[in-house]
């Protein structure tokens, strides 16, 4: 996929490689972690000058993917825009919603940590109840 030079200038990671090569010729950079669909969405966002309405119409998956690519390519304006949009999406949502949004699975380790925290809080509460009880009995 061919990308306009104005868009490449937004990609500080790629721009650093171009500057290191010291050439004005067109250069091919493989981006194996970036799909053509996401790259076309990024180009659309930049050409439309980071339109907030366009960002709101992105799917959750597209928004997360664009945010990760913006971070990878060091595109500060796009990263700020997408991170803010994600923050607005998860604001005041439940922990379950956030886990589902970021695809954070409860594995055995995190379940074990939750049980330890629960047991610790139960022990802490009982400890003070028994302390209070022992003062009454004395």
Which of 135 and 3 is assigned the larger pLDDT? 3
User: Could you tell me the residue range of the domain that residue 135 belongs to?
Assistant: 105-138
Q: Is 45 exposed, middle or buried (0-12, 13-18, 19+ CB in 10 A)?
A: buried
- Determine the pLDDT at residue 57: 94
Claim to verify: residue 66 and residue 110 sit in the same structural domain: no
Q: How sure is the predictor about 1, in pLDDT bands with cuts at 50, 70 and 90?
A: confident
78-97 pLDDT, tens digit per residue, is 999 999 999 999 999 988 88
Q: How many CB atoms lie within 10 A of CB 43?
A: 17
94 with 114, same domain: the answer is no
Domain shared by 126 and 96, yes or no: no
């Amino acid at each position: 996929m061919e990308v306009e030079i104005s868009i490449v200038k937004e990609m500080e990671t790629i721009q650093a490689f171009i500057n290191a090569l010291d050439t004005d010729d067109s250069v091919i950079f493989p981006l194996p972690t970036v799909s053509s669909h996401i790259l076309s969405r990024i180009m659309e966002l930049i050409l439309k000058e980071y339109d907030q309405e366009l960002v709101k119409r992105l799917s959750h998956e597209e928004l997360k993917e664009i945010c990760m690519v913006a971070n990878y390519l060091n595109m500060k304006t796009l990263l700020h825009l997408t991170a803010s949009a994600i923050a607005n999406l998860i604001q005041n949502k439940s922990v379950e919603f956030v886990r589902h949004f970021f695809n954070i699975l409860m594995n055995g380790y995190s379940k074990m940590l939750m049980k330890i925290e629960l047991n610790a809080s139960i022990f802490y509460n009982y400890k003070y109840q028994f302390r209070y009880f022992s003062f009454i009995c004395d």
